[in-house]
Amino acid sequence: MNTPRIKFVLSRKPDASEITVHGWVRTRRDAKNICFFELNDGSCLANLQVVLDRGGSVADDDVKRLQTGARVEVSGVLADSPGSNQSVELHAQTIRVIGDSPADDYPLQKKRHSFEFLREIAHLRPRTNTFGAVSRVRNALSYAVHRFFQENGFLYIATPIITASDAEGAGEMFRVTTLPYEKIIATGAKVIDYSRDFFGKPAYLTVSGQLNAEIYACALERVYTFGPTFRAENSNTTRHLSEFWMIEPEVAFCDLSCNIDLAEAFLKYILSAALTECTADMEFFDLRIQKGIIDDLRAVIETKFARITYTDAIAELGGSGREFEYKPTWGVELQTEHEKFLTEHVVKGPVVVTDYPKDVKAFYMKQNDDGKTVRGMDVLVPRLGEIIGGSQREENLSVLENRIAELGLDRDAYWWYLELRKYGTVPHSGFGLGFERLIQYVTGMQNIRDVIPFPRAPGAADF
């Protein structure tokens, strides 16, 4: 704990003093009289090369224990390295193997592994270059998310993870219960009495903190949430998880245009943070995972996001001459292929689609004067498609009440949501952004299951 991290050691100038470092062996190369091995401690992508004179102070038996995966403590002197892959190296005087790693069955070898295989050994995959880099980027961006909002006067609000409101409608929900289902089934009961459940009514894991965030935005003006979110949808794709982290700002006195400005500034801030704070890791992603990703992100940072209404987007798609599997039709939600075509071929960069038909969007979106569309917006980016979805919220009490009635929703379930409009209502807006999708976009990792430490997906809750 008190020994210097490798990241720090690598930045030091050689001197004669003895230092002690800890790390896991990544690779070892032996020559007749000399042995090289590399240590990694997760503090950075780079390894520290350790040089050991054979027949010196370290016994041969100990050298043989320096196998891939072993945890060791090394004391020695930092020196300039004649090799070309590192500027300094540690000339070992003593080594202590703290944890052996039998090489004949250690799953991680000094070679490339498929991500599919690594998912099966999620307890060991953070020891690889890729997952170390993903972890460091994820960490830096988590911090950057908070920093962005804190620097802009937002308050961090803890919205509930368990919700007794069945009113969210944003997807399938996981039920939270203490009812003994086995016993209930055994009695042959046809109906479950939720009044006897823990909360006295059905309860679920949250699918969004938005409605709760609106409460605080209507008091504190600028708020955000950043927490776990749960969707029980049976989705099996490279961009869905059952448990993921969502960022949801909510801002009073903010219309749709202001909301888009916020989303754009936010994304650019985060992308910049990745490039400036995780330079070595980003170079790794550029080299090994997604060629050109650094230039891609730089271009996004420097480009003003295009804006297009849904109606214009449909016209643009229809007139493109492109054959789509699903014909672009006004009144129908944009398909993934439409979104990707817009951002990758029409705009060739980030694009914000606004003013969707009200029937394809949620009840709370503010209605436009045309009576047909609502002030919703999706931010689309090349490679990924939709990365942010948001809207200006309906702040007019009677319009919102009518919409709830029109959709046949239970008005009583929204009593507090409606009271926000009854007392001191204010125009406000917000958006939601899946943190893992952001990490995917920034790193170029193809499967969302590889940008969260312990992915949960249908049929998959190991580790």
Specify the residue, 157 or 334, whose C-beta has the smaller distance to RNA.
Answer: 334
As measured in angstroms, the least distance from the Cβ of 25 to RNA is: 10
Minimum CB separation of residue 419 from RNA in Å reads 24
C-beta of 81 vs 303, nearer to RNA:
81
Closer by beta carbon to RNA, 33 or else 178: 33
What's the length of the chain?
A: 463
Q: Compute the least distance from the CB of residue 171 to RNA, in Å.
A: 5
- The two tokens of residue 241 are 């998880």
Q: What is the DSSP letter of 457?
A: B
Give the position of tokens 């009200």.
358
| Shortest distance in whole angstroms from residue 245 CB to RNA | 8
CB of 305 to RNA, least distance (A): 15
- 78 vs 425, beta carbon nearer RNA: 78
Residue 375: count other Cβ atoms within 10 Å of its Cβ. 24
Q: Do the beta carbons of residue 217 and residue 430 sit within 8 Å? A: yes
Please identify, using beta-carbon distances, which residue of 242 and 425 lies nearer to RNA: 242
Q: What is the DSSP letter of 292?
A: T
Least CB distance from residue 197 to RNA, whole Å? 25
CB of 384 to RNA, least distance (A): 9
- What phi, psi does 50 have (nearest 5°)? -110, 135
**351 phi, psi to nearest 5 deg:** -140, 140
In angstroms, give the least distance from the CB of 113 to RNA: 5
Query: For RNA, which is the closer residue by CB, 47 or 425?
Result: 47
Q: Site residues (CB under 7 A) for RNA?
A: 27, 29-34, 36, 49, 51, 64, 67-68, 81-86, 89, 91, 103-105, 107, 109-111, 113-114, 116-117, 119, 170-171, 208, 231, 233-242, 244, 246, 326, 333, 335-337, 385-389, 432-434, 436-437, 446-449, 459-460
Spatial distance between the Cα atoms of 222 and 107, rounded to a whole number of angstroms: 48
The single-letter DSSP state of residue 453 is S
Is the CB of 150 or the CB of 237 nearer to RNA? Answer: 237
Tokens of 81: 């390295």
CA distance 7 to 44: 5
Tokens standing for 111? 């070679």
- Asked if 378 and 405 touch (Cβ cutoff 8 Å), the reply is no
Q: Which of residues 349 and 376 has its CB atom nearest to RNA in the complex? A: 376
> How many CB atoms lie under 10 A from the CB of residue 23?
24
- Amino acid in the structure at residue 424: G
- Cβ 172 to RNA, closest distance in Å? 8
| DSSP label of 394 | P
Q: How far apart are the first and last CA of the chain?
A: 26
CA-wise closest residue to 224 among 207, 246, 243: 246
Judged by beta carbon, residue 230 or residue 425, the one nearer RNA is 230
Rounded Cα distance, 359 and 330, in Å: 11
Cα–Cα dist 291/285, whole Å: 8
Q: How far is the CB of 1 from RNA (least distance, A)?
A: 28
Residue closer to RNA, measured from CB, 256 or 425: 256
Burial class (CB in 10 A: 0-12, 13-18, 19+), 379: buried
Q: Residue 217 corresponds to which tokens in the numbers above?
A: 């935005």
